[in-house]
Amino acid sequence: MLQVYLPIAEISVNLMVMLGLGAAVGFLSGMFGVGGGFLLTPLLMFSGIPPAIAVATGANQIVASSVSGALVQWRRGNVDVRMGLVLILGGAVGALAGVILVGALSEAGQADLLIVLGYVTFLGIIGTLMLGESIRAIRRARAGRSASPRKPGQHNWVHGLPLKMRFPHSRLYISAIPPLVIGALVGLLSAFLGVGGGFILVPAMIYLLRMPTNVVIGTSLFQVIFISAIVTLLHATFNHTLDAVLAFLLIIGGVIGGQFGASAGQRLKGEQLRALLAVMVLAVAIRLLLGLMLTPKDLFSLTPLLGAD
Amino acid sequence: MRRAMRFTFIACLLCAQLPALAAERTDKEVVQFDVSTREISIQSNFTGIEIVVFGSIDSAQPRAAGQTPYDVIIVISGPKQALTAWRKERVAGIWMNGASESFVSVPSFYAVLSTRQIDTMAAPTTLKTLGIGIEDLRLGGVEAEGLPGDDVFRAALVRLKEKRGLFQQEEGSVSFIGRSLFRGSVDLPANVLLGRYKAQVYLFRDGQLLSKNDSSLEVRKAGFERAVYLLAFRYPFIYGLAAVAMAVLMGAVAWAAFRRE
């Protein structure tokens, strides 16, 4: 049993467990083509890493995985840099708000609870939506029909807002307000929960901004690099909750797991893959919720008193 | 000036002699001790450490009839920290932190080792005055402000600290080798705080404090862990930048190594 001491978390963890955790999440994220932060952070919390450190360190790991992913997409010309920059601008504001929020809640003793509650809500909604969608898709596939593709030129209320900008890569001429707001929301979520936010970004880009599907993944990954980098930097600077040694182990594991995941993912059907992921997301949400609902073994807990020296 | 200095010097010599003169016996027992590790370095493989405290009693007297054997208490206490103890309460089906009490001067580590139960060695008031024992620790909670403290939070803090191995009271863990040599050992868990730790040894007989001695040990991070820790707290922005750069680099390397184009 190889133990590694984490200098910021100030605990000793098993090297193989942390590498394995990174690999497992990397495998899943490679298989499903998702960032994996939404699974990594709760798993870190389950393995005894304090939630605030799990969030900041998770964000650092996401930087690495999104760089790899974004480079692949970049080579294929699937990144709308202009849209990405607008999203990042909004995201930076959201991230700052999120980091301040985590700091303030820690002081009030409620950060852990709200991070977990945030996860339960977030994973519950996403899991339910994904499960519903994939079941419908599986049924459709059995009935022999195909999903309806995006109809170009179709507009919704989002397109009526002012401050219009041209996004040539996405062949869009829309207001900058929706991408700014979406970016800010993702930034907030990222800072608060240590997730990349691709889960929110991808559907929002497709359904709200009506971006072409081929640039959605690349642009989302491009934005996630910067937002998670900003989140990492802010948590490190203001909350001192980033454990770089832990991040290093998770990245190593994640890179290896990601490669196997990607090849495993190619052998499964899209709808089945999504249904499987949805079930997993819901399982994590239920596990977290149970943790809040069941009578705790110990009603008392200790936290460092901030502001006192 | 010079005269004044000489006077002070003589006065000091007198001061030094005074306790010895005041004592009934001139060959009063004096306890001496040392710790096995004065500098504890926390490195990547740190999983806690056992510290041995060993010492001897100078001019130890044979036990007279009716006298108890020598009793030794070893106290090791870590740097102070400020903690809040929370009690979870059920709100709308969910357990959340409710009432709390803050303690501003909690020793991050506190171990009491002794030859036998400490309340049989000395009167409770003696122990209280010396501040020996977990029960008599001053933690800086509300009772410090003269308010009636809610013992629930203090008890919870002590219990949680004990569970993590950060508060230990091991009665009977100090043993004598022969008449004047003694040793005791304490386990420092992996989650100890950094800083200077105080080690104190008290020698008792018949409920009387005969001698007391102090020493200290230092717990610090070493090597790479120390560098990471210092960077994270002294230059957090640079630390954050370095962590991001590491992630970007590793991500790019992973992409280059596994690309399938």
Using the Cβ of A128 and the Cβ atoms of chain B, whether some distance falls under 8 Å is answered with no
> What's the pLDDT at B143?
64
Give the three-state DSSP class for A115.
Answer: helix
Q: Which of residues 266-295 of A touch B (CB under 8 A)?
A: 292-293, 295
Contacts of residue B118, defined as CB under 8 A and 6 or more positions apart, other chains included, come to B73, B112, B127, B132, B133, B169, B171
CA distance B248 to chain A (A): 5
pLDDT band at B110 (very low <50, low <70, confident <90, very high): very high
Give the three-state DSSP class for A130.
Answer: helix
Q: What is the mean pLDDT of chain A?
A: 83
Which of A67, A233, A300 is the closest to B252 by Cβ? Answer: A67
How many Å apart are CA A38 and CA A21, to the nearest integer?
A: 13
B206 secondary structure, DSSP code: T
> What's the pLDDT at B14?
45
Q: Which of residues 204-223 of B touch A (CB under 8 A)?
A: 221
* Beta carbons within 10 angstroms of residue B10's beta carbon: 10
Interface size A-B, in CB pairs within 8 Å, comes to 178
Q: Which of residues 188-227 of A touch B (CB under 8 A)?
A: 225
> What's the pLDDT at B41?
84
A250: tokens are 């998770």
Q: Which of A74, A79, A251, A301 would best serve as a mutation to test chain B binding (most B beta carbons within 10 A)?
A: A301
B139: tokens are 């933690």
Q: Which of residues 112-151 of B touch A (CB under 8 A)?
A: none
Interface confidence (ipTM) of the complex? 0.83
Using the Cβ of A14 and the Cβ atoms of chain B, whether some distance falls under 8 Å is answered with no
Q: How far is CA B217 from the centre of its chain?
A: 9
**Which chain B residue has the Cα nearest residue A114?**
B96
Average pLDDT over residues A171-195: 87
pLDDT of B15 above 60 = no
Contact A302 B96 (CB under 8 A): no
In whole angstroms, how far apart are CA B105 and each of A10, A210, B77, B160, B189?
20, 58, 12, 16, 20
pLDDT band at A306 (very low <50, low <70, confident <90, very high): low
CA distance B192 to chain A (A): 8
CA neighbor of A216 nearest in space, from A33, A8, A20: A33
Q: How far is CA B61 from the centre of its chain?
A: 30
- Please report residues of B whose CB lies closer than 8 A to that of A295: 95
Contact B42 A259 (CB under 8 A): no
CA distance B43 to chain A (A): 7
Q: Which of A6, A11, A12 would best serve as a mutation to test chain B binding (most B beta carbons within 10 A)?
A: A12
Which of B97, B247, B259 is the closest to A109 by Cβ? Answer: B97
* Beta carbons within 10 angstroms of residue A103's beta carbon: 17
> What's the pLDDT at B1?
47
Contact A5 B42 (CB under 8 A): yes
pLDDT of B3 above 60 = no
Residue found by looking up tokens 């306890």 in the block: B31
Average pLDDT over residues B150-163: 87
Contact A12 B248 (CB under 8 A): no
**Which chain B residue has the Cα nearest residue A227?**
B244
The tens digit of pLDDT for each residue in B26-48 reads 578 889 898 888 888 887 777 78
CA neighbor of B256 nearest in space, from A68, A181, A113, A260: A68
A2: tokens are 């190889």
The tens digit of pLDDT for each residue in B59-105 reads 777 777 777 788 999 999 999 988 889 898 888 888 888 888 888 88
Contacts of residue B223, defined as CB under 8 A and 6 or more positions apart, other chains included, come to B41, B43, B44
The tens digit of pLDDT for each residue in B212-223 reads 999 999 988 877
